[in-house]
Structure 1
Amino acid sequence: MTTPAPAPAQASTEESPFDPHDFPQELREEQRRDAELYAELQALQARLPWSREPHDGWPEVEERGRASKGRAPSPGWKPDDAAAYDRLWEELRGATAAVQTHEWWGICERQGVKGADLYAARQALKHAPGAVPLAREDVAQTA
């Protein structure tokens, strides 16, 4: 007894459905740049004094049984730090605008991706391969 040969695969004339999470490489790179600038700005802010301008601060106050935390005096930022902060903010605004106004989102809308689905696609971009500066797997590999 012989086994029948499998039927030949039929060529599909239909295109695969549109995937709003199939982000173009350029958009992934722009998102990565945006994330890198954000991280750089956060790192700079973490080492700067709390006030850009010199400030005397204020003492901790307890009023009606509630304590309001005080602030130590701030020497203000050095001119180089202020310039770096302003430059990073400007670059971050530009990178964010490039991601938010990328033509991919218009293509998604023309393909019928709107509302919560478009929001989900925008959020998914932040975790897409190539759009994240450093993934946990990268840390594990280098450790």
Structure 2
Amino acid sequence: MAENPFPDALRATRIRLHQATAELTALGRALPWSVEPHDGWPGKEHSHTGEVTGGRPPSPGWTDEQKAAVDEFRQECLALSETVSAHPYWADFAGGALVDRRMELKSITRPGTVPEAETIPAACLPGLEIEHTYHSGMAENPFPDALRATQIRLHQATAELTALGRALPWSVEPHDGWPGKEHSHTGEVTGGRPPSPGWTDEQKAAVDEFRQECLALSETVSAHPYWADFAGGALVDRRMELKSITRPGTVPEAETIPAA
């Protein structure tokens, strides 16, 4: 690729998102098919061929550790969209042009379209300008730098994605809204919704892409080899500790990770 039309950090992050999506899909396939224990059900025998189709085998359900891990992964996934979408590169585009550029980035970074040397290890995001400056009170950091830095960014991105959602109209499709209810004694009107223009095609496309990318976020943290030394409750405790010590307000300003 003689000319890369996208900033290196943006491109590198998008490559990793494709990889992580595939890794998360594999993780999901490895779990039992039902969250709670289930007896399953028999298939249906075809009246002419005798072939049995459908049905489900018994499922042990997910362990508490698996439930806790998946729940945390899903929360972290909400942050992934902003890792790409908050990059200042997009400020020069709007409307259909913005959607086209996002789709182009997604297309040229798919597995099989980038050289092997450019693929991104699960624990790293090469090209990203992440600053690792620890304050004096953090003499001992119990987690690897790449893992800690990624989790810090996930907290930031979750807040940014929440802000994005609050800026959109309340209904996806245009809606006339409905009137509130007047209190019989005070005359105060409560409830109701104002008319909503719905989301534009560009907003729908952006949110759809964000949600797909969010599915990858869990593996950005969870696939790190650091976790291999823990299991069961100890694994959950370590994940919760990492999440706790990297929340906004618990890390110095110098350690926060730029959105790009």
The bucket for the TM-score relative to the shorter chain is: 0.5 to 0.7
Map of 1:119-134 to 2, 5 A cutoff?
119-128=236-245, 131=246
Q: TM-score, normalised by structure 2?
A: 0.36
2:163 aligns to what? 43
**RMSD of the TM alignment (CA)?**
3.2
Partner Cα separation in structure 1 for residue 145 and residue 249 of structure 2: 17
1:84 aligns with 2:84: no
Which amino acid in structure 2 is aligned with residue 31 of structure 1? Answer: Q
Aligned partner of 1:97 among 213, 219, 225: 219
5+ residue gaps, structure 1, are 1-20
The Cα shift of 1:51 comes to 0.8
Partner Cα separation in structure 1 for residue 193 and residue 220 of structure 2: 38
Per-residue CA deviation, residues 39-66 of structure 1 (Å, 9 max, x unaligned), is: 221121121111111111112236999x
* CA gap 1:97/1:136 in 2 versus in 1, 3 angstroms: closer
1:30 aligns to what? 150
* Structure label with greater radius of gyration: 1
Q: TM-score, normalised by structure 1?
A: 0.59
Q: Give identity over the alignment, percent.
A: 39
Per-residue CA deviation, residues 54-85 of structure 1 (Å, 9 max, x unaligned), is: 111112236999x8611111101122222222
5+ residue gaps, structure 2, are 1-140, 255-260
The total of aligned residue pairs comes to 111
Which amino acid in structure 1 is aligned with residue 143 of structure 2? Answer: F
2:177 aligns to what? 57
